[in-house]
Structure 1
Amino acid sequence: MLRWRHGCTILLAALLAACGETTDAEDPAARADAARLDVMFSAQTRVWQDARRTELVAPDGWLSLIGLHRIELKSHFIGSGKTAGIRLTMGPEALGLLQSDAGTHAFTPERGVAVTLDGAPVRGRVSLQTDADAAPSVLGFDAGKGSLTLIERGGTTFVRARHEEAPTRRRFTGIEYWPTARNWRVEARFVPSAAGATLPIANILGMVEDTATPGTVAFERDGVGYRLQALDGGDGALFLIFADRTSGHGSYSAGRYLDAPAPGADGRLQLDFNRAYNPPCAFTAFATCPLPPDGNRLDLAIPAGEKTYIPATTV
């Protein structure tokens, strides 16, 4: 979750509290205050949007994905050659041999091919860790432009391939947003779940995993109450996966994500839907995005945040 300078956040919150979210149309001073708040709020939102773009287009960002390969055999040759069991779209024709057995994985590079493990040159057979381990391994290839990692989803292990020259990264067209609106930053209340509560979360691959849920976030819009079941966002923050009536009608059809701050001691927090963002699957076919749980499909249109991504059709 992107975090902002504490002082700036406090200043804006104080101004909002002093002036309120509505203004008297007949009061020039109130209109001027509202205009200043709009400018400040839009500026903060643009900072978030810029950081979001930087994260996406990073050499190892989501746009760099070039493959997702299920490990089905005990041995797989990896490379871009036609005979490779796990065939890469970029990189050397023969990269090496991946061996998997009883949850353990090892890699042996092809003779004469430069490969690194976590940045250090690989001289022979090396053991690999998955993203379920504390320190997942990263195999580098193609002079550091490409990488392979092992990820576990629904009891299945996959090879995830990245390359900084991925077509999705080179052709990135940018993100379109709805106009920033202060009234889409809403007050909300956090209701904790019972200890050990879980929520079935399906991913884009059709797998379902029971995932810990810290609680539910409740908010109102135009006098109607809505609730979103939250996932752990780390450091007390919340991660929300939701769909709304714009899903497939302006926003990404499979839903969007929203990072929310840690609730206060009284359970209060704010949800800024101007910062609702597309899951990685909106940009690449090689992600494993979690999808909104049934309770997070809102009968509400939220024309705020990121719109559907439209990729370029040519290089």
Structure 2
Amino acid sequence: MTPIALALSLALHTSPSPKAAPPAKPATAAKPMSTTAPPDDLSTTTRAWHDQRIQRLQSEDGWLTLVGLFWLDEGEQTAGSAPDSKLDFPANTPAKLGVFTRTGKAVSFQPAPGVAITRDGKPFTGGPLKTDEQGSPDVLKLGSLNFHVIQRGEKLGVRVKDSQAPARQQFHGIDTYPASATWRVSARFEPATTPRTLQVPNVLGTTEEMKAPGTLVFTVDGKEHRLTPVVEEGSQQLFIIFADETNRDATYGAGRFLYADMPKDGQVVLDFNRAYNPPCAFTRFATCPLPPRGNRLALRVEAGEKRYGDH
């Protein structure tokens, strides 16, 4: 069993289960729409939000296209579909794709002779590659494949996507709970008195410190619950990584994601109808964050997306 698969398996059995964060950068990367829709229009707005969510997921660069993730060692590593390749790319890749070279936190790539790779629509003949830690990474393309370098803490890896991936071609949608005003709750925002960071674990077995502006306090069936949101760099929304008791049998075992607008007059709307599956629910090659300590709710949040397939 791979380290990622093992981490997910452990999360499934310990969650009552994420750089993604990372940790994976959440993956998440595609932000939900605003959560300020009028309650009487909840079904319509929730359906519209979910339609957009599915459209992004099914896009040519969506998570359903992720087919590989290869962590780089120091020095040179061959890549391609040949059995002796250090980085074993998918079968539709040339046997000899090229050579990646890692020097500290710098990565370069040299295509093999005769392999026509492009970057930004122009021929790429070799050179250094910008990682996702440096903003938008350099994306190299070959036919239906594209790949780029990601950084997760001290780890550097090559993420591979294929617009013709079976997961994308065979996608059949995601079941959801019916939209309900019960799960569109108002939470009291308790701001942190001093700058605070939260240790967010991920499926790689590492953690990342993320900014935590405060705590969200809300009540369901007369019982008070708390969640700690984080704020991603450059984001204007709160990001909540949470688990609940439906993870055992109805929703993704490692937890779900939720975005919410920033506090207004000390209140935050938590619309759990927009709780959604992390990228790891669709591919073992994602690097998703997991619910941090304190974000495991002792109740069944029967709202939002349900478990996808056999995940």
What TM-score does the superposition give when structure 2 sets the normalisation length? 0.85
Partner amino acid for 2:95?
Answer: E
Equivalent pairs counted in the alignment come to: 279
Moved more, 149-158 or 48-57: 149-158
Q: CA RMSD in A?
A: 1.7
Identity of aligned residues (%): 42
Is 1:256 aligned to 2:256, yes or no?
Answer: yes
2:247 alignment partner, SS class:
coil
> In the alignment, residue 46 of structure 1 is paired with which amino acid?
R
CA shift in 2, pair 1:64/1:306, >3 Å: same
1:61 paired residue number: 62
Amino acid at match of 2:246: T
* 1:148 Cα offset (Å): 0.9
CA distance in 2, matches of 1:299, 1:67: 35
Return the letter of the residue paired with 2:195.
Answer: G
For 1:283, the equivalent position in structure 2 comes to 282
1:200–1:211 contact (8 Å) kept in structure 2 = yes
Cα distance 1:298–1:56, how it changes in 2: closer, same or farther (>3 A)? same
- Bigger relative contact order (CA 8 A; separation at least 6): 2
Aligned counterpart, 1:153: 152
Stretches of structure 2 that go unaligned for 5 or more consecutive residues are 1-30
* Cα offset, 1:5, TM superposition: 10
Distance 1:120 1:196, change over 3 A: farther
1:79/1:194 CA distance change after superposition, 3 Å: farther
Contact 2:108 2:129 in 1 (8 A): yes
Match of 2:247 in 1: 247
Question: Is contact 1:68-1:286 (8 Å) kept?
Answer: yes
Partner of 1:21 in structure 2?
Answer: none
Q: Distance in 1 between matches of 2:239 and 2:86?
A: 37
2:141 is the alignment partner of 1:140: yes
Once the two structures are TM-superposed, the CA of residue 170 in structure 1 deviates from its matched residue by 1.4
Q: Name the SS of the counterpart of 1:41 in structure 2.
A: helix
- Asked whether the 8 Å contact 2:35–2:261 carries over to 1, the reply is no
Q: 1:107 to 1:3 in 2, by over 3 A?
A: same
Q: Aligned ranges for residues 40-59 of structure 1 at < 5 Å?
A: 40-59=41-60
1:84 Cα deviation after fit: 1.3
Cα separation, 1, equivalents of 2:101 and 2:48: 45
* Larger deviation, residues 74-83 vs 51-60: 74-83
Q: Which ranges of structure 1 fall in alignment gaps of 5 or more residues?
A: 17-36
Of residues 116, 119, 123 in structure 1, which corresponds to 2:118?
Answer: 116
**Which sits farther off after the overlay, 239-248 or 110-119?**
110-119
Contact 2:119–2:140 under 8 Å retained in 1? yes
Structure 1 residue 155 displacement after superposition: 1.3
Write the mapping of 1:204-215 to structure 2, written as runs, cut at 5 A.
Answer: 204-215=203-214
Q: Aligned pair 1:79/2:80, yes or no?
A: yes
User: Cα distance, 1:77 vs. partner?
Assistant: 1.1
Q: Which position in structure 2 is the counterpart of 1:106?
A: 108
Secondary structure at the residue paired with 2:110?
strand
Distance in 1, Cα, partners of 2:194 & 2:64:
37
Q: Distance in 1 between matches of 2:34 and 2:295?
A: 27
- Equivalent residues of 2:35, 2:269 under 8 A apart: no
Q: Distance in 1 between matches of 2:274 and 2:84?
A: 45
Deviations 1:7-40 (A, max 9, x none): xx3xx2xxx5xxxxxxxxxxxxxxxxxxxx2xx2
Measured after TM superposition, the shift of residue 246 of structure 1 is 0.5
Amino acid at match of 2:103: D
Q: Tell which structure's C-alpha radius of gyration is larger.
A: 1
Q: In structure 1, the residue corresponding to 2:216 is in which secondary structure?
A: strand
Question: For the residues of structure 1 that align with 2:230 and 2:35, how far apart are their CA atoms?
Answer: 24
Normalising to structure 1: TM-score of the pair?
A: 0.84
